[in-house]
Structure 1
Amino acid sequence: MNFRKFLPWIIAVVVIFGIYSYVKGINNTAVTLGQSVEQSWGDVQTSYQRRNDLIGNLVNTVKGYAEHEKTTLTAVIEARAKATAVTVDPTNITPEQLAAFNSAQSGVSSSLSRLLVSVEQYPNLKADASFLKLQDELASTENQILTARTRFNEAVKPYNTHIKTFPNSLFAGMFGFKEKAYFQSVAGAEKPVEVKF
């Protein structure tokens, strides 16, 4: 048997197997990194859901004390409803989806801040143990949201880097992998907060 006769076939099989392994590695790494992004997005949503749950309890507690703050309470409830109506597809997070989500959540933060400022007029409410506990939980949840958003951005970076790096970018498009958006700060966040007494 002549070995040279089969040499071109052996080389072709080795080359095809090498290309297959390389492309499979690109795909599998992108899938793994994409799953990390989706998990991180789930953590972001869980943190915001926790805040939304706390807001309901906070509003009910304030209602009992602050009858004159109906417009502020209504604004908080409406902002929460708008925020929960915005959905983002974790498999295809676009900058537009993330901006809409961020804007809705910013509305919640803004109306919640107004509510907490208005509470200053009610000393009995400020001293209420359940209100103080809710306020502490809300502050803790805001920190969790910041952490979850940071971790989300940290998960997006290696995914985007992987699919945008040459030659991975050639194959990533063929497999349908698209760049994912980062969380950005809300417009105007770079300005210092004006505090009035």
Structure 2
Amino acid sequence: MNEQIAGVLGIAVCLASVLMLRRAWRDAGLRRKLWAAGGWLVLIPASILIALWWGVVVGLAVMLLTFSLCAMTVVKVGEERRPARPAKSRIREEMGLDPDERRRSRWRGWARGAAAILLTAITANAIGAAAAGIAPGAQSDRFATGVVIVPLLWACLIIWMLSDRVMLRPVLSMTAASAIAGAVIAWTLLS
């Protein structure tokens, strides 16, 4: 089979997969499960066809990109715009303000950002050091484990802390995680 034909067929199969998943989204009952299973299973031949066209490594990335673009296109085409309901604004006036709708102050934003950077850095480094301390293998492998974990964990923790409306939840959770990681570090150093 010609590589270009395989690639075009792979793109068409990706689009068919997205359409099957969209149909599963709208249907109910057993048919919904069948459409969803079929939509995900159709990605296997799509990835094989695109891999024939681009090669295995690049083909997988191209298949994921094609699937994402097809999905975004289907969602955009099926988009519905509804007029805003005036009754909600009246209900909102009767209720109290949401924390996100309160007047913002500059110092609170700066304090939140500084706390996020410091606390998440301490927590991520503590968990990374604890993971490196208890990981099996040679010292260089354990060091690599810690080096890989810390930046990913730091980014996730900053996102969590800055996106949560109530700062107390992430602060308490990260303080507890830092304490547990510190105990693990102390245990590995003393044993």
The alignment's TM-score, normalised by the length of structure 1, stands at 0.29
TM-score, L = length of structure 2: 0.29
- Which is helix-richer, 1 or 2? 2
Of the two structures, which has the highest relative contact order with CA contacts closer than 8 Å and spacing of 6 or more?
1
